[in-house]
Amino acid sequence: MVPLIYFLAFTGGFVIMSLELLGGRVLAPYFGSSIYVWGSIISVFMLSLAAGYLIGGSWSVHEPRLRKFGFIFLGSAILLGPLILLSEDMMEWVFVRIEDPRYGSLTAATLLFMVPTIILGMISPYSVRLLVKSVHESGKTAGRLYFVSTLGSSLGTLITSFYLVLWFEIDQILIGLTATLLLLWLATFCVRDEAKS
């Protein structure tokens, strides 16, 4: 079970950063790729992750289990899927109503990415709760987990920016990320699940 949790945290970090980079490509046709747009995207992702950390930490206290953890990935996939179909219409709606690219891009990024990113932010604290066996080793376990998750984020950034955006359309990458999250959810059913005390 432990290697799977690390793999889930690694891949969750990958998906978060891949999605953040795609956010810039999604907003660019309407709001450009100025520092305002990137400031909006980064702010929305950071605030969403902060909220996800709080929620995930609170949720992990109540009978934490691997399969319960898996529903974070299912929820992320369900919320990420509609971006493929709705992002263009939502961008058009915001663009027509908010002329200032600062506030337009901030509104669009919030509407498109906030909720899925909050759910993805729940992964790290829930992972820590599943991995920690004793208070004595909690710091070491959390440090190792955040190392693995951040490594996934770094690779997600490089692979998405260096390769995926050159080889695939944005919708295809989003479909791939959604499918990945669904596979991760299914993976939580492949090992023995034990409730944590």
From CA 180, how far away is CA 190, in angstroms rounded? 15
Q: pTM, whole model, 2 decimals?
A: 0.90
Structure tokens belonging to residue 112: 């498109």
Core vs surface per residue 125-148: b (16+ CB within 10 A) or e = bbbbbbbbeeeeeeeebbeebeeb
pLDDT exceeds cutoff 90 at 167:
yes
What is the rounded average pLDDT for all residues in the chain? 89
Q: Tokens 């709001």 appear where?
A: 31
Binned at pLDDT 50, 70 and 90, residue 52 comes out as very high
Instruction: Say which CATH class 2-187 falls into.
Output: mainly alpha
pLDDT for 29 beyond 70: yes
How many percent of the chain have pLDDT more than 90? 57
Report pLDDT digits (tens) over 112-135.
Answer: 999 999 999 999 999 988 888 776
Position 197 pLDDT exceeds 70: no
Taking the domains of the chain in order of start, what are their residue ranges?
Answer: 2-187
84: number of Cβ within 10 Å: 16
